[in-house]
Chains A and B, each alone.
Chain A
Amino acid sequence: MTTASRRLRRLAPLAAVVGAGALLLTGCGPASSGSSDSGKFTYFGQTENTTIIDTLTTLSEDQCAAEEKAAPLTADKSAGAQFDQKLQLLAGQDALSNMSMAAGTPSLMKQFIDADQVLNLSDELDELGLTDKILPAAASTIEALYGEDDMYSLPTEFNIEGFWYNKQLLADNGIEVPATWDDLVAAAETLHGAGVQPFAADGKDGWPITRLVGNYIARDIGPDALKAVADGDAKLTDDEYVKAADAVAELGKAGYFGDAVGSIDYNAAMNQFLTGQAAFFYMGSWALANFNDETQNTIGLDNIGYAPFPEVEGGKGSIDQVPANVGVPVMFAEKGFGENQKAWLDCIVSNYGDTVLNDSGVVSGFTIDNPPADLPETTQTVQQVIADAPSSILWFEALFNSKATSVSQTNGGGLASGSLSGADFMKLVQDANDEG
């Protein structure tokens, strides 16, 4: 064996070579994707979401055939779990696709906006005269989500959330649809006493639990309460906020979410509700696809009711403010946006809403010109709620940074199983949010 100093001396030339290589590589000229219009319309989406790409393909064969001819649609996809990572890598190379699903975490989306990576769609739609093709509620949701005055993504989905309930189970136990949180807790107690699991919940993914915390805050402190936290005017560890997490933790401690809720995944929770094993199910309206599927739904479509998230007594929020989200919207890259891409944007905004509702039964944030005649009743209810809603509220993590989002959702299961107190939960999330 050589001595350390001799080894070091031998290492020096090698390090120099390697270093020079690194310099060469980093400096090897500008990125090659220079042209502004590639003659293609590129789309990049999550593997898990097939609705958007299917709809685009349908459009390319029908209403957007001319655009397809000028710039053919080419699609790539990546797994949802790693999608934000992929977007970051691509944006870092100035190589976002013409159209892609937006980043799952709004804070990443804000970075794209600040770095001028994504297109200001309000301006573009204004120019195309298509501003009124977007439902106002959807537009305001998107604007609030990214904290901008303009729209940077298109609402390919528009979902409302609330408690879906099993009419039969409620009737059997003499329970009215709860209008206040106390009603809900009382209903849960009655059901639990009768041997019925009150709530089905996906504790593994956590977000269906933290949604309850967020909605409670909005009902109790008011719809702007979470914005105050994001702006630094309030802390989640303040008493009034902790109260909300405690309210949910109470449900968990009482066992209202069932056994081992931390191990229940999305499928299992959905299945519990649709096979009549649980009375209430907090979920977004995208679940209608499962409700409408007779092989999954054994309790019957007519047996499912929708209850808006209840009011909190003495709270500043109102039951009319609907928890809403735009699913995963789509964004357009600033780079490479030429005439062909503009034509595609025009065609998509004009036709997407009708096509996706007719073909896939998905309610989007676009206005509908030709509604299908035979929509299921629950879908009609959802459309009605959207149309009637005076305003919408965002979910718990919407305005947090990505670390706080992740910490919140990984600990949601702890709240539901009663192993984590409201105060501890809020402290974890607040700490994570302060850091980023």
Chain B
Amino acid sequence: MERVLGDKRAVLILLGPALLLYSLIMLVPIIWSLGYTVMDGNPIVGFTFNGLDNFIKFFNDPAAWSAVWFTIRFAFVMTVLQVAAGYGLSLLYVFYLKKASSTIRTIIFFPIVLPTVAIALLFTRLFEAAPTTGPVNSFLNLLGIESVDWFGTPEASFWVLILMGLWQSMGFYGVLLYAGVLDIPEEMLESARLDGAGGWKLVRTIVLPLSLPVLLSSLIFSINGTLKVFDSVVALTNGGPGNATTPLTLYMFQTSFTYGQYGYGSTIALMLTILCLLFTVFIFRSTRRDLTKD
């Protein structure tokens, strides 16, 4: 039997196509780009070797550090909020709405389908302060609070970005986690209920531990998505005001393609990759302990 599961030819047939495509179109370009991290220049003027200059520049570049800080802050807040909201929704679907959840699930899921360009236009109008007063500011005015220029200050822009991301993605995480919560064997819930567990206690002792694997996948998925946030920032604030909402991806893109510094751009990308790696390993480590306490 081990011989069958270890059939080399079968491994080749099953894994070969994926590995080939992945190597040619991802790995080769990645290694290629890593080569640029010790270079200066761009495809037009040519590349020259400059050793570790790009890395030294990165560590002394205030704009890069402000991008790192924004990226981490955004990724952390966004991941926590969207996974938490998604998990809340999935519990709502499974334990409260049950069979009736299909329509509601679809509606709450739907924003993920909308083009980011469209959602950004929408949120610009929702939070508009001038020339016309948008609904959010109208509501504030109603409460006697003066209109806020949401896109004029770094802090307000940050939270509008978060709200937009949450609006767009929470239904998506709801559906993603729904499948995991649904897979919890009924027998286990049953026996826990017989033991007198209900409501919050049931969730804490049975549901949460048993849906940890899918929560873990969601967390890793979410953190790697939010660390690489690009489209929504470009469409909503374009990194502004100033560079207050510029994530590493946008800074990297501008450096390479607008400023024509491919070497430095690749260095920024490498730093972002390392950041993603650190966060992923961190999540793995901190949850694995719970999973494998056998």
Docked CA distance A410–B240 (Å): 7
Q: Are A259's CB and B240's CB within 8 A?
A: no
- Verify B130–A258 contact, CB threshold 8 A: yes
Specify which of B124, B239, B258 lies most central, judged by the most chain A CB atoms within 10 Å of its CB: B258
B-chain residues with CB within 8 Å of residue A204 when the two chains form the complex: 151
A372 contacts B by Cβ under 8 Å = no
Interface size on B, residues (CB 8 A): 33
B-side contacts of A420, CB under 8 Å? 242
Residues of B within 8 A of A268 (CB): 130-131
User: Nearest chain B CB to A429's CB is how many angstroms away?
Assistant: 12
Please, how many angstroms separate the alpha-carbon atoms of A93 and B45 in the complex?
Answer: 12
Contacts of B166 in A (CB 8 A): none
The interface residues of chain A lying within 8 Å CB-to-CB of B124 are 263
The 8 Å CB contact of B259, one of A19, A258, A401, A410, is A401
Residue-by-residue, is B33-44 near A (CB-CB < 8 Å gives 1, otherwise 0)?
Answer: 000000000111
> A92's contact among B44, B149, B261, by CB below 8 Å, is which?
B44
B152 at the A/B interface (Cβ < 8 Å)? Answer: yes
B23: chain A residues at CB < 8 Å are 17-18, 21
- Distance to closest chain A CB from B30 (angstroms): 9
Q: Which label, helix, strand, loop or mixed, suits the secondary structure of the A interface? A: helix
Residues of B close to A111: CB separation below 8 A: 42, 44-45, 260
Known interface pairs A259-B129, A402-B259; A115-B149 also in contact (CB < 8 Å):
no
* Residues on the B chain within 8 Å of A19, using CB: 31
Number of interface residues of A (CB under 8 A): 49
A85 to B262, CA, bound (A): 11
In the complex, chain B residues whose CB is within 8 Å of the CB of A428: 242
Q: Mark B4-17, 1 if CB is under 8 A from A, else 0.
A: 00000000000000
Contacts of B258 in A (CB 8 A): 84-85, 105, 402-403, 406
- Minimum distance in angstroms from B132 CB to a CB of chain A: 9
Q: Which B residues between 128 and 142 are near A, CB-CB below 8 angstroms?
A: 128-131
Assess whether B97 is interfacial by the CB under 8 Å rule: no
Provide the A246-284 mask, 1 if CB < 8 A to any CB of B, else 0. 000000000000111111100010011000010000000
Q: Are A263 and B43 in contact (CB under 8 A)?
A: no
Q: Across the two chains, which residue of chain B brings its CB closest to A268?
A: B131
Chain B residues whose CB sits within 8 angstroms of the CB of A84 once the complex forms: 257-258
Whether the Cβ atoms of A88 and B241 lie closer than 8 Å is no
In this assembly, does A159 line the interface, its C-beta being within 8 Å of a C-beta of chain B? no
B66 at the interface (CB under 8 A from A): no
Report whether B31 and A18 are in contact in the complex, using a CB–CB cutoff of 8 Å.
yes
Closest to A112 in B: B44
Residues of A within 8 A of B151 (CB): 204, 260, 262-263
Which residues 223-268 of B sit at the A interface, judged by CB distance below 8 A? 238-243, 254, 257-261
| CB-based contact B28/A22 at 8 Å | yes
| Interface pair A91/B28, CB less than 8 Å apart | no
Q: Are B242 and A88 in contact (CB under 8 A)?
A: no
B residues near A114, Cβ cutoff 8 Å: 45
Chain A residues within 8 Å of B118, by CB: none
B147 within 8 A of partner (CB): yes
**B179 adjacent to chain A (CB < 8 Å):** no
Which of A17, A262, A272 lies in contact with B240, CB distance below 8 A?
A262
Q: Is B32 among interface residues, defined by CB-CB distance under 8 A?
A: yes
Q: A92-B44, A115-B44 known; 19 other A-B pairs, CB under 8 Å? A: A19-B31, A85-B258, A88-B42, A88-B44, A91-B44, A108-B260, A114-B45, A115-B45, A260-B129, A261-B130, A262-B149, A262-B152, A263-B128, A263-B151, A264-B130, A277-B131, A411-B242, A413-B240, A436-B261
> 14 pairs across A/B with beta carbons < 8 Å?
A88-B257, A89-B43, A91-B43, A111-B42, A260-B128, A260-B152, A268-B131, A277-B131, A401-B259, A402-B258, A403-B254, A403-B259, A410-B240, A411-B242
Which A residues have a C-beta under 8 Å from some C-beta of B? 17-19, 21-22, 25-26, 82, 84-85, 88-89, 91-93, 105, 107-108, 111-112, 114-115, 117, 204, 258-264, 268, 271-272, 277, 401-403, 406-407, 410-411, 413-414, 417, 419-420, 428, 436
